[in-house]
């Protein structure tokens, strides 16, 4: 039977401005004032359409840990993928989307630097996951603006869930990599993003706004947060691998400012 109305995801994403916003958020988490500059539209209009996307659960919002007055918006890649696939399948079974295989070859090596404040949890986990998931095609590194001791829950979750040993890793300052060339520099916390140094080689600068799982509470509270952070990193890195394995559409060059 022919559908009587297009699926909600198509109604949401089909608006030209909302489609542009989704495209920008597919590249990097952003604040409203950044999105207004990127799409060239007034803030009230951008905020209105972001609210529509958020209500449709295609976009999430989180208060900045650097400045609580700011909000970072991010695209729920998993949900968007499922919704678009279902929309294609509703029109015709042959149009259901097939996600790219994670094992697709990457023209490497690709040098990626993950940054957070302490280099004690998020960036260390991201480094290990990127190296493992890419089969070594990604040369992953991590550093922090104010390094501190490796968090034991970061070591634990990587070992228990992914079979990766972080115990020999040591926190490093971002200054260690001053002047080195990277293809991608990915900041994982809002505070370090503001202090992110300029790197040689014109890397693509991307921000993933992830809350710090090290809240200072006991393990019963924090370990599930580390598990959730690792799962989010695994998802995002999986989509990064898909991007690296695919040529840029129509020669598209991604924005290099975070």
Catalytic residues: 116, 189, 196
Q: Which residues contact 75 (CB under 8 A, 6 or more apart)?
A: 22, 25, 26, 58, 59
Helices 122-133 and 152-162 pack at an angle, to 10 degrees, of: 20
> Residue 173 has what DSSP assignment?
B
C-alpha distances in Å from residue 75, one per residue of 88, 90, 154, 211, 225: 20, 23, 25, 16, 20
> Cβ(33)–Cβ(47) under 8 Å?
no
Runs of H (alpha helix) within the chain: 8-13, 16-27, 32-39, 43-55, 77-91, 122-133, 152-162, 190-195, 219-245
Nearest alpha carbon to residue 212 among 135, 124, 139: 124
What length is written for the chain? Answer: 258
């Amino acid at each position: 039977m022919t559908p009587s109305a297009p699926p909600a995801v198509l109604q949401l994403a089909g608006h030209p401005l909302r489609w542009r916003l989704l495209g920008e958020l597919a590249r990097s988490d952003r604040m409203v004032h950044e999105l207004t500059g990127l799409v060239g539209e007034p803030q009230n209009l951008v905020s209105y359409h972001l609210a529509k996307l958020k209500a449709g659960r295609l976009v999430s919002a989180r208060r900045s840990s650097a400045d609580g007055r700011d909000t970072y918006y991010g695209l729920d890649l998993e949900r968007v993928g499922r919704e678009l696939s279902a929309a294609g399948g509703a029109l015709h079974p042959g149009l259901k989307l097939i996600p790219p295989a994670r094992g697709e070859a990457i023209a490497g090596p690709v040098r990626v630097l993950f940054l957070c404040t302490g280099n004690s949890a998020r960036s260390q986990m991201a480094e290990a996951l990127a190296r493992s998931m890419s089969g070594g095609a990604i040369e992953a590194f991590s550093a922090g603006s104010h390094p501190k001791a490796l968090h034991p829950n970061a070591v634990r979750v990587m070992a228990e869930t992914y079979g990766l040993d972080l115990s020999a890793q040591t926190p490093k300052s971002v200054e260690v990599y001053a002047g080195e060339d990277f293809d991608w520099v990915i900041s994982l916390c809002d505070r370090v993003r503001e202090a992110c140094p300029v790197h040689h080689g014109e890397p693509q600068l991307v921000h993933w706004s992830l809350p710090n799982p090290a809240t200072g509470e006991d393990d019963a509270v924090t370990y599930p947060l580390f598990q959730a952070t690792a799962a989010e990193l695994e998802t995002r890195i999986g989509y990064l691998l898909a991007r690296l394995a695919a040529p840029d559409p129509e020669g598209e060059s991604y924005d290099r400012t975070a």
